[in-house]
Structure 1
Amino acid sequence: MEKYDFDTIVNRRGTHCYKWDEAEEEGVIPMWVADMDFPAAPAIRRAVEERAAHGVFGYTMVPESYYDAIISWFGRRHGWTIDRHWIVYTTGVVPAISATIRALAMNGEKVLVQTPVYNCFFSSIRNQGCEVLESPLKRKDDSYTVDWQDFEEKCADEKTVLFLLCNPHNPGGRVWTKAELERMNDICLRHNVKVVSDEIHCELTMPGHTFTPFAAVSEACADNCITLNSPTKNFNIAGLQIANIVCKNDTWRRRIDRAINIFEVCDVNPFGPAALEAAYNESEDWIMQLNAYLYENYKTLKSRFQSELPQIEVLRLEGTYLVWADIRATGLTSDELSERLMKQGKVFVNSGTMYGKRDGEGYIRINIACPRATLEEGLRRIVATLKPLLP
């Protein structure tokens, strides 16, 4: 097996890189937006280079081999059998969320989310004229669980028509179990609520945790869900803009496909399909080594916090590379703390309030998908900034 290098630092400054070039201050280490600092897998780079060498970049058809790669990947990795006709490609998971809501919910209806949750969920729901309905997750020790009573009450609201699930959960770090997913669906079915499962981080799991696609749990789950997935987050190719909607229900899928066309996000660039095929057909060992590296990064962060910032609790990371930290012991709000880290510490993290003003308050999100040396320097700055604030 080829050994991949995740330690070499690639200078991304000055490349119009959103992650590194967004901060106005000089010398900031960005540990915010969900973007990795690792080069893409060699097979992906080769595929993109070969496509670029052709020199003509016109309108792009998606070949049958594209669908074959998706079906093979999810079948062998996750035990999920996908029919080729269930797949609708588009430019990204966020456009897919918006199109799915537009297709399956009317103005004024409610879309249920589990807060704290990915910030674009809120904007996508509101942009389609729908109302965000929040079911707060419950803190349990160093993790989260579902408040089942609240979840059922929110599903029972006569205006609730969709449940927008984040699986794995961003920013809470949960990889939902099969039993949890099945219980979610049972409740949704009782109240005629469709499930839209955002599974963009599905390959990023820590040891001891297994990702289960919502649609792979049971036939009942497959019949009641729309799955949104993409190789972009897992393989660090978000700029290539490729994603898929997988929907078994013919009527729902036709409506979603119509919305994709109305939104004009039905055409993809020449590089996205080539990159997806290379990712799913040739890069499985890369993702396995990436996960091992990310786990060591998580252990590095957790150890540093435990030894130098023990009052700040780092929540358990089961999936994604986004660490959720409880900063309430500092006495500052999430916004105040993230601003202090930026101005004083020269570290860019996400304020928890991005993910829900109520349920994200008191937390920050830290992106650990970077070479270990970058992580260690970021942690040094975080410790130096936060230690004086703690008793």
Structure 2
Amino acid sequence: MTKKYNFDEIISREGSGDYKNGALLRLFGRTDLIPMWVADMDWATPPFIVDALKKRMEHPIFGYTLTPRNMWTVVRKWIREHHQWDVPEEWMTYIPGIVKGIGMAINVFLKEDEKVIIQPPVYHPFRLTPEGNRREVVFNPLKELPNGSYAMDFDNLEQVCDEKCKMLILSNPHNPAGIVWDIETLQTLAHFCASRGILVISDEIHCDMVLTGHKHLPFAAVSEEAAQCSITFGAPSKTFNIAGIVSSYAIVPNDELRKKFYEWLEANELNEPTIFSPIATIAAFGQGEEWRQEMLQYVEENIKLVVDYCAQHLPKIKPLVPDASFLVWLDCRDMGLDHDALIDFFVNKARLALNDGEMFGPGGEGHMRMNVAAPRCVILKALEQLKEVY
């Protein structure tokens, strides 16, 4: 295949106000680090998205705007073609971010004494957002498998779930481990939650970055039970590197849940996208397939580099090959370092900024999460810096 896009180009983010570099001193104590933590890409946002935004900016008035009529048609077509899920347009709405959407759902659907179940090690806002909204969080930790991957623990779920548990936040595909959940797992989870009146919030932001022949299954599409007990959140932002342009959406098949949630969003004008969000979304889902395919191929090669390099030079660091996304979960437990020593090793010795595994909750101890959505020479330099101090 002739490659059309250049993922080897190094682009300085200086002057862009980016969080990945701008927060290094505050969070890591120094600025001379290769930033491999925040889950955005160091590649240029696709040119067709930039061009669409530039075209709108040629008009000098940035007043109130209507959502373009064809936006949901484009989103619906993308979901149908990529995930074989036919979503009626009335099931969909804009939301101002997935973590914000989780907070909104908590406030709409949960009483103050009701609880939220999460499955650690998992994306840390799944814990922080309910706790910040004064809801108790219940842990249903994943079971570690011999190959370093994970499975859901339904025996434990049965034990920890009581009558106050009314929401479960699902990471599908899973972050940080990159797991694409199989249909049996999702159907079992759906049956458990539907039979107990538990609302499932399925965060599917990584669904369009499935790797190496895996297949993403939308939670709500695996059974009628799943459809009727769930809200799905998605976005083009991770796949097309437009996280700063908030472009998230919700899908709610159940009429009663949808009416309650969407009326609350509408009353607070939280369902109205900003001027650039629909433009970026239409460009991404309307023109993005070729770029996405090239990006995924490059990500797979970066992951292979990390796996092979660790096997050869860093045998006590064991990367878990993700089924989806550009995030690699590193098992560093064989290094024999406690939490502080492991952070010191990566930050102060190897001069790398990764996400600390403990932030993802129980089961994350002794792990680090590495973002490999960067030019290959940057990934190689990071690995060489690890080797120097290993």
Corresponding residue to 2:89 among 78, 81, 84: 84
Aligned to 2:236: 231
Three-state SS of the structure 2 residue aligned to 1:47 is helix
Between the aligned partners of 2:58 and 2:334, the Cα distance in structure 1 is 55
Query: Can you list the C-alpha shifts for 1:294-314, whole angstroms capped at 9, x where unaligned?
Result: 010000001111111112221
Aligned to 1:153: 159
Runs of 4+ in 1 over 4 A off after TM superposition: 261-264
Aligned to 1:180: 185
Aligned to 1:111: 116
Q: Does 1:345 align with 2:350?
A: yes
Between the aligned partners of 2:210 and 2:140, the Cα distance in structure 1 is 24
Q: Is the 8 A contact 2:168 2:200 kept in 1?
A: yes
Q: Does 1:124 align with 2:125?
A: no
Aligned to 2:68: 63
Larger displacement relative to structure 2 (255-264 or 321-330): 255-264
Q: Is the 8 A contact 1:6 1:371 kept in 2?
A: yes
Q: Does 1:365 align with 2:369?
A: yes
The equivalences for 1:1-391 within 5 A come to: 3-24=4-25, 25-140=30-145, 141-155=147-161, 157-260=162-265, 265-356=270-361, 358-385=362-389, 387=390
How far has the Cα of 1:11 moved from its partner? 0.8
Cα distance 1:251–1:128, how it changes in 2: closer, same or farther (>3 A)? farther
How far has the Cα of 1:259 moved from its partner? 4.1
How far has the Cα of 1:336 moved from its partner? 3.4
Three-state SS of the structure 1 residue aligned to 2:208 is coil
Three-state SS of the structure 1 residue aligned to 2:168 is strand
Between the aligned partners of 1:338 and 1:280, the Cα distance in structure 2 is 39
Cα root mean square deviation, aligned:
1.6
Between the aligned partners of 2:113 and 2:317, the Cα distance in structure 1 is 40
Three-state SS of the structure 2 residue aligned to 1:81 is coil
Identity %: 35
How far has the Cα of 1:335 moved from its partner? 4.3
Read off the aligned partner of 2:225 and give its amino acid letter.
Answer: A
Task: Using structure 1 for the length normalisation, give the TM-score.
Answer: 0.94
Q: Is the 8 A contact 2:3 2:294 kept in 1?
A: no
Three-state SS of the structure 1 residue aligned to 2:108 is helix
How far has the Cα of 1:264 moved from its partner? 5.7
Three-state SS of the structure 1 residue aligned to 2:61 is coil
Between the aligned partners of 1:264 and 1:333, the Cα distance in structure 2 is 47
How far has the Cα of 1:66 moved from its partner? 0.8
Cα distance 1:367–1:166, how it changes in 2: closer, same or farther (>3 A)? same
Three-state SS of the structure 2 residue aligned to 1:245 is strand
How far has the Cα of 1:131 moved from its partner? 1.1
How far has the Cα of 1:59 moved from its partner? 2.5
Read off the aligned partner of 1:220 and give its amino acid letter.
Answer: E
Task: Say how many residue pairs are matched.
Answer: 384
Between the aligned partners of 1:185 and 1:299, the Cα distance in structure 2 is 34
Q: Is the 8 A contact 2:307 2:321 kept in 1?
A: no
How far has the Cα of 1:199 moved from its partner? 0.3
Which 5+ residue runs of structure 2 have no aligned equivalent? Answer: none
Q: Is the 8 A contact 1:90 1:244 kept in 2?
A: yes
